[in-house]
Amino acid sequence: MGWKLFLRDYASFIVFQLLLVGFIMVIYGLDGFRNIDTAIYSFCISLVLLASFLLVRYLMRQRYLVKITQLPTAMEDVLQKNAKTPEAMQTEKYMHELYRLYQHELHALYASQKRHDQFMNQWVHQMKTPISVMELLLQDDRPLDKKNIQEEIDRLRRGLDMVLVNARLENFEDDMQVEQVVLKAIVTATVNENKRLFITKRVFPEIHIDDNLIVASDSKWLRFILGQFITNAVKYTFEANKKITISAITKDDFVQLAICDEGIGIPASDLSRVTKAFFTGENGRKTGESTGMGLYLAKEICEKLGHDLAITSEVGKGTIVTVTFTN
């Protein structure tokens, strides 16, 4: 099959060369074939040179032509190197680069699909807990405890928000709208959204942010990541009457927002991994409520918004989450 492809590829060249030989013979004919031996010699030499050229070219391309005329049985077939001519070698180089890009995109897709499946399995498992609690409360003959019902509904709402954010993260750029945001208004609204959690845990928020402080960010996504930091700060503060302090400082070209709690703190061995997907760590195992996705999503969103995220902590003293906004 290789030689057929070769002849099809060189058909126009062969026809051109034959026309050229024919044209030379016409010239000899117009001259009256005064030297017929020279004309025959020129005709034969031209054909021999053409055949020799085609033979050498075919031998140089034979392995490459045989390779591309056979259907591949595995993706690795594209990595075989059989080319001899510059054009064929460049084609193989192009195919190798195309294969590398394909493999990169394929691995990214597999990783994304695996992360999505793992997140959904874990999320569904955790959402069973509040549903089971509400079922038990409804089966109880005593008057319905609305406070407990509301707490479980809040847990379901936070879980739904997280799964929606995870689903939208793939198309984050389409949903992002950076604008001038009044930082204190966003922080206050986020704290008010979680006021029941503060009351339940008997933890008190303190906000020290200038009323007119403005940062460049997306208000919806910023509210989500602040919600993650604040709920984590409250959730891991086990002692009552502790404070969550949210403050901001302004420098020449950036603003730093700090969420500081007086909770149990993060062990040093876990600190570098708390933003990894599905990492629950020692604290997550204590509460049994962590999906290991909250800080991971927050970090991903911060990177996409261009905000720097830093977390420092000391066991028994608390954790400080710092978000740096560049103006």
Q: In this structure, what DSSP letter does residue 7 have? A: H
Could you tell me the pLDDT band of residue 324, with boundaries at 50, 70 and 90? very high
If one compares 148 and 79, the residue with the highest pLDDT of the two is 148
For residue range 147-161, what is the model confidence (pLDDT) as tens digits? 888 888 888 888 888
Orientation angle between helical segments 294-305 and 219-235, nearest 10 degrees: 150
For residue range 263-283, what is the model confidence (pLDDT) as tens digits? 899 988 888 888 887 787 777
For residue range 188-237, what is the model confidence (pLDDT) as tens digits? 999 998 888 898 889 999 999 999 899 999 998 999 999 999 998 998 89
Rounded to whole angstroms, the Cα distance separating 271 from 37 reads 93
pLDDT of 319 reads: 93
Could you tell me the pLDDT band of residue 287, with boundaries at 50, 70 and 90? low
Q: Which of 5, 18, 110, 114 is nearest to 57 (CA)?
A: 5
What is the average pLDDT across 175-191?
A: 91
Could you tell me the pLDDT band of residue 6, with boundaries at 50, 70 and 90? confident
Q: Which of 300, 303, 295 is nearest to 278 (CA)?
A: 295
Orientation angle between helical segments 36-69 and 86-139, nearest 10 degrees: 20
**Amino acid at site 166:** N
Neighbouring residues of 63: CB distance < 8 A, sequence distance ≥ 6: 82, 84
* Angle 92-79-100 from CA coordinates, rounded to 5°: 85
What is the average pLDDT across 86-105?
A: 86
**Amino acid at site 200:** T
pLDDT of 138 reads: 84
Reading the block at residue 19, the tokens are: 């026309």
For residue range 18-56, what is the model confidence (pLDDT) as tens digits? 999 888 888 888 877 777 888 888 888 888 999 999 998
**22-36, 284-298, 302-316: range with highest mean pLDDT:** 302-316
- pTM, whole model, 2 decimals? 0.66
